[in-house]
Amino acid sequence: MNPNCARCGKIVYPTEKVNCLDKFWHKACFHCETCKMTLNMKNYKGYEKKPYCNAHYPKQSFTMVADTPENLRLKQQSGLQSQVRYKEEFEKNKGKGFSVVADTPELQRIKKTQDQISNIKYHEEFEKSRMGPSGGEGMEPERRDSQDGSSYRRPLEQQQPHHIPTSAPVYQQPQQQPVAQSYGGYKEPAAPVSIQRSAPGGGGKRYRAVYDYSAADEDEVSFQDGDTIVNVQQIDDGWMYGTVERTGDTGMLPANYVEAI
């Protein structure tokens, strides 16, 4: 059954039928509502299921809403609700930590430069503390402790009575001096001699370890909680130099792992 035309109401046959805008039209009846120009499927524009040309297509305009007391009240209420929600989110997230900063190439370069500067300064302070310009300050701690130990026992040896028989010769074992190995201008301290293990020098300060520490470098020493550190010398705010009385090892140790006795 053939449908009726949406414009004239007459029967539309298949040879002259135009199916558009959910309706059926005669080709002659499918024209603009304003200027009556005949349209086709390529140049028409539909508005409220009616065909229009491009020139007479209705323009949509928005209406302005007046600031009535009711609208002002709704606007103020929406602002208060948004502020309350913001405060709730702030209270929930308060104290949960700092914001994460992305590791950009610039930040990574600055961090690497700071680490290199800190490492260079640490080695400079370490070199100055161990090899100073003057003879007394530049003396290595192991040799200084050895001299202190020998001077400490010399009066005791002088007080001993001379009751050694002449028939039995006395042989004194020579003390072995510590040998320092050098690596590219940097001198590695030698192992402590037996004098340091038996009687460490009393010139330095004494500290007690409050935590366990494992050496992270060759010039550091390991110790356990409760160990006594003798002959302690302050190098900077974070590091000290001393000898572990239990093991006899001498080297660098962190200052925040020990306390003064």
Q: Higher pLDDT residue, 197 or 203?
A: 203
Q: Higher pLDDT residue, 150 or 110?
A: 110
Residue 148: its pLDDT value, please? 52
pLDDT in tens, 4-29: 999 999 999 988 999 988 899 999 99
| pLDDT band with cut points at 50, 70 and 90 for residue 133 | low
Q: Where a domain ends, among 42, 59, 76?
A: 59
Number of domains observed in the structure of the chain: 2
234 in a domain, yes or no? yes
77 vs 65: CA distance, rounded Å = 18
Residue 120, class by beta-carbon neighbours within 10 Å (0-12 exposed, 13-18 middle, 19+ buried)? Answer: exposed
Q: Residue range 35-64: average pLDDT?
A: 86
pLDDT exceeds cutoff 70 at 218: yes
209 vs 16: CA distance, rounded Å = 105
196 vs 244: CA distance, rounded Å = 10
Residue 88: its pLDDT value, please? 82
Residue 147, class by beta-carbon neighbours within 10 Å (0-12 exposed, 13-18 middle, 19+ buried)? Answer: middle
Q: For all residues of the chain together, what is the average pLDDT?
A: 75
54 in a domain, yes or no? yes
If you average pLDDT over each of 63-77, 128-142, 166-180, which comes out highest? 63-77
| pLDDT band with cut points at 50, 70 and 90 for residue 220 | very high
Residue 195: its pLDDT value, please? 36
239: domain CATH number?
A: 2.30.30.40
Q: Residue range 64-82: average pLDDT?
A: 80
Please, what is the end-to-end C-alpha distance for the chain in angstroms? Answer: 113
List the one residue out of 16, 26, 23 whose CA is nearest residue 46: 23
Residue-range definition of the domain harbouring residue 49: 1-59
15 in a domain, yes or no? yes
Cα 59–chain centre separation: 58
pLDDT in tens, 150-187: 444 444 444 444 444 444 444 444 444 444 454 455 55
Q: Residue range 103-119: average pLDDT?
A: 83
Residue 194: its pLDDT value, please? 37
96 in a domain, yes or no? no
